[in-house]
Amino acid sequence: MLRHILVSYLFAGLSSQAPLSRLKQSSPLKFKADGTFQLSIFEDLHFGENAWDQWGPQQDINSVQVINKVLDFDTPDLVVLNGDLITGENTYLENSTDYLDMIVRPMIDRGLSWASTYGNHDHQVNVTGRTILERERRWPNARTSQMVFGREAGVSNYYLPVYSSNCTKTAQCTPELLLWFFDSRGGFYFQEWDGDGSKVGQPNWVDSSVVDWFRQTNQKLVAQHQKTIPSLAFVHIPTYASLMLQTKSGVNGNRQPGIDDDYPLAPQAQGWCPDGRNDGSCSYGEQDIAFMQAITETAGLMALFSGHDHGDTWCYKWDTLLPGMTVKGNGINLCFGQNSGYGGYGNWIRGARQVLISESKLEDLAIDTWIQLESGDTVGSVSLNSTYNQDHYPETPNDKTHCPTCDYHHDPAT
């Protein structure tokens, strides 16, 4: 009963919204007239946690307030929901995707569009990326889609082009920017149990079929437009390279400003064996090597943004061959955002990473980024340019939100 009361509170006023049929269909993404395009990246919102307890629905209310506060401070051209929208293991089959209505309401109220990746907590027995996508696509504001199909591909694999402000017919324009979205999967298969009644685990890396699609699609775009198009990428679970940068090179608070509390962080292919076993006997199976090779070999790809590890908020330029790895970094920036939701584990202050892309800087493959906190403060402002990793920045304060229930813990790897 409590859950229904709180959900009704959150949905209050939805009837005053324009009917879905009257909402304007999302037009192509474009840079503003001043040559800029801004992203707001929310991650690990974890809606639907412990709906049977008083504190669970209250966390959802708190998370909606985070989204509203951040969007009041910064009005982006696109909102990115970078995985773990829902704590799917806590939800029921009949209502799992209802939480999307709460999550996207702040964007609908402002006429903003959004694009999602799905995380390991979005892939559970009672909810999956497919059912979440079906719910998202009820709104024209949703730009999330699926371009790769198959049991092992996951769902949220697609790209979005961004055009110049003066482009009137996109079919005749070359995109100024590409945004790539990947499903790192994890969690469990939807409504599947093995012979002894246990949930069937789903691999937690970007599948090889998706890597092939990414390579081939990017090659086609380069050939079609006769140029390398600058790009950004989003995936929920970070790659093994982020772990090696953290543990072998070390995160410097002035060179890579940000919180570094999830140590060691949880990467793709964690807990799997090279032969595909997931029985706890292996720490890392190397299945994300193909994805790491693809992102380092894609000319113009400036940064990969991840979530998953709530206590990490730094960016690191990967430009070396790290110990124990076979893939060498090419200078791509591997970034975390800021924990956005009151669900999930940890009590780091909530917020969202902002990314500002300027057409004038794209020739140098440089972008600016910072974290907007729900408090109104801005931290971790950096320029991801050719000298990032050498430039000196102020350290990011490791602030916490007073929240008695926020120490409830979900292992990011599960």
Edge-to-edge strand order for the sheet containing 78-82?
A: 114-117, 78-82, 36-42, 351-358, 367-373, 378-384
Can you read off the two tokens belonging to residue 253? Answer: 């608070």
8 A C-beta contact, residue 80 and residue 392: no
pLDDT at 412: 55
Cis-peptide, bond into residue 264, ω within 30° of zero: yes
- The mean pLDDT of the chain is 92
8 A C-beta contact, residue 182 and residue 235: yes
d(CA 315, CA 218): 24
pLDDT digits (tens, 9 = 90+) for 32-46: 999 999 999 999 999
pLDDT digits (tens, 9 = 90+) for 321-349: 999 999 999 999 999 999 999 999 999 99
pLDDT at 12: 44
Residue 24: pLDDT band with limits 50, 70, 90: low
Can you read off the two tokens belonging to residue 264? Answer: 């060691």
Element spanning 90, H or E: none
d(CA 336, CA 306): 5
Q: Is the pLDDT of residue 368 over 60?
A: yes
pLDDT at 414: 52
Q: In terms of Cα–Cα distance, which of 220, 127, 216, 144 is closest to 182? A: 144
Q: Is the pLDDT of residue 5 over 50?
A: no
Fold of 2-384: Purple Acid Phosphatase; chain A, domain 2 (3.60.21)
pLDDT at 280: 87
- What is the arithmetic mean of pLDDT over 158-181? 96
Helix, strand or coil, per DSSP, at residue 187: coil
- What is the arithmetic mean of pLDDT over 350-375? 97
Residue 323: beta bridge partners?
none
Q: What is the pTM of this model?
A: 0.93
Helix, strand or coil, per DSSP, at residue 15: helix
Q: Is the pLDDT of residue 21 over 60?
A: no
Share of the chain above pLDDT 70, in %: 91
End-to-end CA distance of the chain: 29
Q: Is the pLDDT of residue 4 over 80?
A: no
8 A C-beta contact, residue 121 and residue 88: yes
- Give the range among 19-28, 165-174, 206-215, 353-362 with minimum mean pLDDT: 19-28
Domain ranges, ordered by start, for the chain: 2-384
